[in-house]
Chain A
Amino acid sequence: MSAWIMAAFMLTAAAGAVMVILYRNPVYSALSLVLTMFALSAIYVMMGAYFIAVAQALVYAGAIVVLFLFVIMLLNLRNQQALKESFGLRAAVGALLGALFIGVAGGTMWAVLSPDQFSKSAEVFKDEGHTESLARLLFKNNLVPFEAVSLILLAALIGVVVLIRFHGRPSSDNSEESNDA
């Protein structure tokens, strides 16, 4: 039973990913991306990675894709037809190469990873306190990377504000510099 559910989620994730690149309207692409993210989140739940599953749903479906949709609608791209792409010969060749690449990568993963490589994976997670042990790993063993991530987020925050605030107005930049001087 659970095997079929997991297979269904896998198919959903793959189909959503393909739809992301097939839809011409970027809003539909973003919604397909939500589908993929939620399917991956469900797969994480079924693999016992509960914290990662919740973080996936919150961060990707809740924040990142909403940011995508927000930007798409903020730019109001549909009115200008700026995003209507024509899928011509070049895209057909690209799709062919892409399908070939998908087949090669998937087939390699499937063929190379023979089951006996996984046969010694008898041990499974101790289910009690899974998130707790992950937190211990994050805050004890990986404390420095964790703090570095906070710095990265801060840098991204400042960078975005600088990009949006000071872009395209050289006169205002000059005036501010002159003010500083």
Chain B
Amino acid sequence: MTPELTYRLCLTLSAVLFAVGVAGVLIRRNAIVIFMCIELMLNAANLAFVTFSRHLGVLNGQAVVFFVMAVAAAEVAVGLAIIVTVFRTRASVNVDELKLLRR
């Protein structure tokens, strides 16, 4: 596999992963799975960053990936805490049933 083909395939995979994440956010109603789909989208962006970093021969893209990972970890922690809090109040994580942020 030539490097060019590898880059094209990786970017295509990145687009597919992002689209799958968007589709999951649109289709699923379980808040936890929606969060997983957001992780998928972040990973798609990471793959594009690494691919272009490799392609351009500079490491800046990988530094950005490092920051994205740190922010994703923080986001997941806060988001899951919110989901646990909502579940305590509503006994449900179905986003269709969550119309208000208050009780």
- Using CB atoms and an 8 Å cutoff, list the residues of chain A in contact with chain B: 2-3, 6-7, 10, 13-14, 17-18, 20-21, 26, 29-30, 33, 36-37, 40, 43-44, 47-49, 51-52, 55-56, 59-60, 63-64, 67-68, 71-72, 74-75, 77, 80, 82-83, 85, 91, 94-95, 97-99, 101-102, 104-106, 108-110, 113, 115, 118-119, 121, 123-125, 130, 133-134, 137-138, 141-142, 145-146, 149, 152-153, 155-157, 159-160, 163-164, 167-168
Contact = CB atoms under 8 A, between A and B. Distances in A.
Contacts of B43: 36-37, 40, 60
Interface residues of B, number: 75
Contact of B54 (A33, A49, A74, A167): A49
A164 B20 contact: no
A105 B72 CA distance: 23
A137 B17 contact: no
A109 B12 contact: yes
A164 B17 contact: no
Contacts of B21: 17
B98 interface: no
A21 B16 contact: no
Contact of B66 (A30, A55, A156): A55
B100 to A, nearest CB: 14
Contacts of A99: 23
5 closest A-B pairs by CB: A98-B23, A3-B1, A156-B74, A21-B24, A102-B19
B23 A83 contact: no
